[in-house]
Amino acid sequence: MTAPTLSLQGAMRAALIADTAMTDLVPASQIFDRHARPETFPCIVIGEVQEVADDMSLARDKFRLYPTLHVWTREPGLISVKAICWQIRRTLIASENVRLGLIDWRYNDTRILRDPDGVTGHGVVTFEALLGEALL
């Protein structure tokens, strides 16, 4: 059985590279899962995920995943990083394949950051997925 975090990661990447509005901003080859800071820009790095128990019922059979995506750009301002983060939100919320097998799927937040080097923009987009043990 595949870990739910891996299935969700695969569905998220598939949705992003299939969306032409997304790949107009970031080429599909620049949407990946890897360690270390990127070497080419712009890019999207499928990042960390937090798994949290959700005791919404006495059965305690539900949990939440909080996957993050990191956006990296190189430009004097933050225009591109904001546009890419917005498109990630639109693409992943609209994707039926990402939602498949989830009880709930929603956008959580975006943080836009300036790197100290003065030319690197960094965005962090977080989503929230609710899953049940029976769905695994």
Provide the domain count of the chain. Answer: 1
Q: Which domain holds residue 81?
A: 4-135
Contacts of 113 (CB under 8 A, 6+ apart): 121, 122, 123, 124
Q: 8, 65 in Cβ contact below 8 A?
A: yes
Specify the pTM. 0.92
Q: How many CB atoms lie within 10 A of CB 77?
A: 11
Dihedrals phi, psi of 60, to nearest 5 degrees: 50, 45
**CATH assignment at residue 46:** 3.30.70.1700
CB environment 17-33: b (16+ within 10 A), e (fewer):
bebeebbebbeeebbee
* Residue pLDDT tens, the chain, 136 long: 578 889 999 999 999 999 999 999 999 999 999 887 789 999 999 999 999 988 766 667 789 999 999 999 999 899 999 999 999 999 999 999 999 889 999 999 999 999 999 899 999 999 999 998 754 4
